[in-house]
Amino acid sequence: MAARRRRDNVLVAVLAVFAVLGGGHAILSLFASDPPGPSDDTTTTIVGHAELAGSFAEQFVVTYLSATAGQQERIGEYVSAGQQSALPSTARQVSDPSVVYVSREKSAGGLDVWAVTVSVRVGKAGATTDEARQFYRVAVSLTEGRLRALSLPALVQPPARGPDLALAYRSPCGTDTPLSQVAAGFLSALLAGSGDVVRYTAQDAGIVALQPAPFSNVELVSISSDDASCGAGNGPARILATVNPKSESGTAATLAYPLTMVRTSGQWQVRSIDSIPALSNPLAIVGDGDAHSSGTPGTSTAPPTTSVQIPPAKQN
């Protein structure tokens, strides 16, 4: 009984301290549940508002940069008339607008303020040269679906070039290695309709050939892998395959495919076309946008050569 009384006294003392330091709110917060996290509805609303603000800023930038003296009413559709603006006497050619970045800077009740960066090409009227892109930032308020720019656009620096990351493909593979032969057959079937793509894919891969085939032929340029044996072992293996596709009009731009491959019953097959190339672990920076990241600097690995058996065609 005495122990229970002492425990109650301690609890009362703790609550009294909270009351002195933080008031009744501090006491109630001990028993209050955590605030609800973001829901699908709130996320969808935020994304929709971002799209709306971006579209408005894009229209504003194009209208503003293409306007001429005497067209102040066009600018008034987007920003307060109190904004002092001087417009050129000759119209400029504004083309290829694109929203490149959207950020919600403030949110209070039903009011959001967004910072939107828009990229455009600006040149003289009738110019035929390809003008460099310019980047403009606009502050946009959004209130219950109503949009307004807070100020005139600001010309800003374009995004800086990022560093190169080291890839996990350390070993180049010769054309006669198992991984190269299967990858070459798979990409020819995928892009040019040359053979059955099911022949080269794992059972649960779910990969189908592009229809209609966009190319008439595919030439394998190089294969690099995180498997030093290039398929002589049991896998799995990740590879980066580079190909030169060809169409009836000639050679198209080079393409690169990061693939994950597995060995099943002694046969190599493609399990997935990866969304990004495999990166080294831990992540490493190998250069400031100039260095190659396909191998270790100062080293070279001779491509191993091993014959490979192409899996037989499967029945659908």
Residues 6+ apart with CB under 8 A from 279: 165, 166, 167, 168
Mean pLDDT on 130-141: 91
Residue 60 main-chain phi, psi, to 5 deg:
-65, -45
Residue range 60-68: mean pLDDT, rounded: 94
Q: What is the pLDDT of residue 135?
A: 97
Please report which confidence band the pLDDT of residue 48 belongs to, taking 50, 70 and 90 as the band edges: very high
* Global pTM value: 0.70
For 199-246, write each residue's pLDDT tens digit.
Answer: 999 998 999 999 999 999 999 999 999 999 999 988 799 999 999 999
Run of H or E including 221: strand 217-225
Distance CA 191, CA 215 (A): 6
293, pLDDT greater than 50 = no
- Residue 42 to residue 226: CA distance in whole angstroms: 42
Tokens 């935020």 belong to: 46
pLDDT digits (tens, 9 = 90+) for 136-164: 999 999 998 899 999 999 999 999 999 99
**Domains of the chain from N-terminus onward:** 40-156 (3.10.450.540), 165-287 (3.10.450.540)
d(CA 173, CA 180): 7
Separation between Cα atoms, residue 193 and residue 197, nearest integer Å: 8
| Separation between Cα atoms, residue 162 and residue 285, nearest integer Å | 10
pLDDT band at 298 (very low <50, low <70, confident <90, very high): very low
Q: Locate tokens 């779910």: which residue?
A: 206
